[in-house]
């Protein structure tokens, strides 16, 4: 029986085409459709929610850098876009597991065993560039940091404080909640609203690089 198309993916391929052509709004459309799905997928691989948020942004950064390599092959075009992003997210999660959880070899081995079954989209995702391949010089890095800091300064005080503690000081959501004497759920709401605003104000690549330059 032929699998029914997911109506929530309708138009995703069109958004991807516009995104590749440089339409900033199209990036927001792609992110809006896929970010929740990718987050849920990553949580099944990595239990640390803070780590998942980092991996999610790394995945979108890698996809942004490799977006022009995306090529439709066969099947439903909307599903193909989703599959490509899932492959990139999976690879980013594997990199995280190898780097931070070397002792958990069984978990890594379980996911790595699936490599033999990778489809062409997954192999294409493996070719996405690393952050080192960006070749950012000091001047460019300083420019990006200045733009990010200017955007953060535009946030409401409560949201700005959470972003500064989370990304610029490396504190976990739980630690921020304890420091601010509020519930962790409230911290996550502030963070979500702040990053949503930053995504609108910054270009996709600069917004994603926030996760790297603040590490």
Same domain, 23 and 95: yes
**DSSP per position, 90-149:** HHHHHHHHHHH-TT-HHHHHHHHGGGGG--HHHHHHHTSPPGGGG---HHHHHHHHHHHH
Domain count, the chain: 2
51 is a domain residue: yes
The residue from 112, 131, 150 where one domain ends is: 131
**pLDDT of amino acid 11:** 86
Please check whether residues 111 and 17 belong to one and the same domain: yes
- Residues 92 and 193 reside in one and the same domain: no
Q: Which of 114, 131, 148 is the last residue of a domain?
A: 131
The CATH number that applies at residue 101 is: 1.10.1740.10
108: containing domain: 8-131
Q: What is the pLDDT along the chain (215 residues), one digit of tens a residue?
A: 344 456 677 889 999 999 888 887 888 899 999 999 999 999 988 878 888 888 888 888 888 888 888 887 667 888 889 999 999 999 888 888 887 655 445 555 555 555 545 454 544 445 444 444 444 445 555 666 677 778 888 999 999 999 888 876 778 888 899 999 999 999 999 988 888 888 778 766 556 555 444 44
Q: Is 162 exposed, middle or buried (0-12, 13-18, 19+ CB in 10 A)?
A: buried
Q: What is the pLDDT of residue 145?
A: 66
Distance CA 58, CA 214 (A): 13
Residues 91 and 197 in one domain: no
Domain for residue 1, yes or no?
no
Cα 110 to Cα 44, 49, 84, distances in angstroms: 13, 21, 21
pLDDT of residue 212: 45
Q: What is the pTM of this model?
A: 0.51
In this structure, the answer to whether residues 155 and 174 fall within a common structural domain is yes
CATH number (domain holding residue 208): 1.10.10.10
* pLDDT score, position 152: 85
Residues 153, 116 share a domain: no
- Does residue 116 sit in the same domain as residue 208? no
């Amino acid at each position: 029986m032929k699998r029914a198309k997911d109506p929530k993916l309708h138009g995703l391929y069109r958004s991807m085409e516009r995104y590749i052509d440089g339409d900033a709004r199209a990036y927001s459309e792609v992110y809006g459709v896929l970010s929740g799905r990718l987050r849920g997928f990553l949580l099944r691989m990595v239990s640390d929610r803070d780590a998942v948020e980092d991996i999610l942004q790394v995945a979108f950064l890698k996809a942004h850098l490799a977006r022009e390599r995306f090529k439709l092959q066969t099947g439903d075009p909307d599903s193909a876009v989703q599959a490509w992003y899932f492959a990139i997210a999976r690879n980013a999660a594997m990199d995280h597991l190898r780097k931070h959880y070397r002792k958990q070899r069984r978990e890594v081995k379980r996911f790595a065993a699936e490599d033999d079954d990778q489809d062409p989209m997954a192999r294409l995702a493996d070719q996405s560039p690393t952050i080192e391949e960006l070749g950012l010089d000091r001047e460019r890095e300083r420019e990006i940091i200045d733009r990010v800091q200017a955007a953060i300064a535009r946030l409401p005080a409560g949201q700005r404080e959470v972003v500064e503690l989370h990304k610029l000081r490396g504190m976990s959501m739980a630690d921020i909640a304890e420091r601010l004497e509020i519930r962790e759920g409230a911290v996550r709401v502030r963070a979500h609203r702040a990053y949503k605003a930053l995504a609108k104000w910054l270009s996709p690549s600069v917004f994603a690089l926030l996760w790297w330059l603040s590490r």
